[in-house]
Structure 1
Amino acid sequence: MTGFETRHVIVTGGGGGIGSATVRRFVAQGAHVSVFDRDLAGATRVADAVTEAGGTAKAFACDITDRPQVEQAVAAAIDAFGPVAVLVNNAGWDIFRPFLKTTPEEWQQLIAINLVGALHMHHVVLPGMVEQRYGRIINIASDAARVGSSGEAVYAACKAGLVALSKTLAREHARHSITVNVVCPGPTDTALFADYKEGAGNPEKLVEAFRRSIPLGRIGEPEDLPGAIVFFASDAASFVTGQVLSVSGGLSMAG
């Protein structure tokens, strides 16, 4: 797909596995990418790597749970690359524990990162998209939001909330030529999945169980996600909004 030349794309959690793969794909399509991450060193490594390869990207420190920091980072990104055409809300965090063994303090942290952080990003970026009457928003949720996942109750609840938010914003802003869609990864070999395996009594057995349950026969890789994300951001998807797509090797086939 083409059509991203000089368009400004923000990717949150851009220093991580799925985020960095997404940054690289957009840069390869000619976009100017703002790499948002609370880990500035990680974001800088990603931005520097794509810049050295001839692309255009810049790192910004941004804790999406901190509204003033979001406002400052978005303003700085717009100063660098102009109005935001595409927002990819990818940043997320999880703990892996049965619900009754979690604490209210952990719930608050999960909600702050996985739901409230995305609310901040939408609330700060959307006014500019409305003004220019153009925008593409892709929210990264999870198959846990669609079918549930043992040990991820609050995370699944947050991601389900993100799906509902996306559908509502898609309705509210269709008249502004803004589309809002959702990509739901299944089990993917990221740092988050590594934490999940660490919490298991037998990580190798857990991974093998996942492999057997996935029709395509393997755990996902970060590079499996950007194709769907870039599609939703492209002009090829200009008549697609409010949709949810699983990228899970067929693990879930929700209608």
Structure 2
Amino acid sequence: MLKKKRALVTGSTSGIGLAIARALHAEGAEIVLNGLGDPDEIAALTNEMNATFNGANLLDPSAIAAMMEEIGPIDILVNNAGMQFVSPVEDFPTAKWDAIIALNLTAPFHTTRLAVPAMKQKGWGRIINTASAHSLTASPFKSAYNASKHGIAGFTKTIALELAQTGVTANCISPGYVWTPLIEGQIPDTMAARGLTREQVINDVLLAKQPTKKFVQPEEVGALAVFLCREEAGNVTGANWSIDGGWTAE
């Protein structure tokens, strides 16, 4: 279905980004991976998907420009790389604010502006931005993350309108809590810090806002990304797709 399509997925060496990359690869897309991780593990992923890898630091606009020039024209751009930090606003480190905005919001601007010309020339393209339930609602102590994810939702809508008659679509995917090794690794520390059982941490802390009381699975996000790349989704643009167990329905 996606044969002869080239896809760049940022933050794709683990978690949601890796699931999206695998899902697109399974549909025939040629994958360019980007992210952090152990070199041997990254090499294994490139072998698994017959992919290429570019380790550009997305906090650096010049590195992004060099990456986009090196990999050449792409048909699918998935802006997935992101970071988080939790602190009251009066104590929020300014360097953390700058880094979160740079990675979560400014990097997608740079990759998008550099990918769009070739997409427009071909008359086909898919831009998918990994937002968050926090693009639609807010949580305390996450000022930079909330701001960046609200920002990426607005950016996506703007790009969708600009490209509406070009054959290029732009959409957000907004997951709630996704079951990843990062989330799983937080459970023992939270159990110890709060004196809770594993089940209490999962149901009363991590999934407190998800009515289904189920984690989103990375493969579910990957499947949604595949749908947005299908020809049948050619008229789906400017949308923010919630996949959050009902979190933002309340």
TM over 0.5: yes
Residues matched between the structures, number: 243
Q: How far apart are 1:192 and its partner, in Å?
A: 4.7
Q: Is the 8 A contact 1:39 1:61 kept in 2?
A: no
Runs of 4+ more than 4 Å apart: 194-200
CA RMSD of aligned residues (A): 2.1
Q: Is the 8 A contact 1:190 1:222 kept in 2?
A: yes
In the aligned structure 1, how far is the partner of 2:210 from the partner of 2:185? Answer: 20
Q: How far apart are 1:191 and its partner, in Å?
A: 4.8
User: Deviations 1:178-208 (Å, cap 9, x if unpaired)?
Assistant: 1100000101123553576588543744422
Structure 2: which 5+ runs fail to align? none
Match of 1:222 in 2: 218
In the aligned structure 1, how far is the partner of 2:74 from the partner of 2:221? Answer: 21
Structure 1: which 5+ runs fail to align? 52-56
User: Deviations 1:51-108 (Å, cap 9, x if unpaired)?
Assistant: 3xxxxx1111121222222222222222xxxx31110000001012333331212111
> How is 1:1-255 mapped onto 2 (pairs within 5 angstroms)?
3-39=1-37, 41=39, 43-51=42-50, 57-78=51-72, 83-193=73-183, 200=190, 201-202=193-194, 204=198, 205-209=200-204, 210-211=206-207, 213-253=209-249
Percent of residue pairs identical: 26
Q: Is the 8 A contact 1:22 1:226 kept in 2?
A: yes
* TM-score normalized by the length of structure 2: 0.89
In the aligned structure 2, how far is the partner of 1:196 from the partner of 1:152? Answer: 17
* TM-score normalized by the length of structure 1: 0.87
Q: How far apart are 1:221 and its partner, in Å?
A: 2.4
Instruction: Return the letter of the residue paired with 2:11.
Output: G
Instruction: Return the letter of the residue paired with 1:228.
Output: L
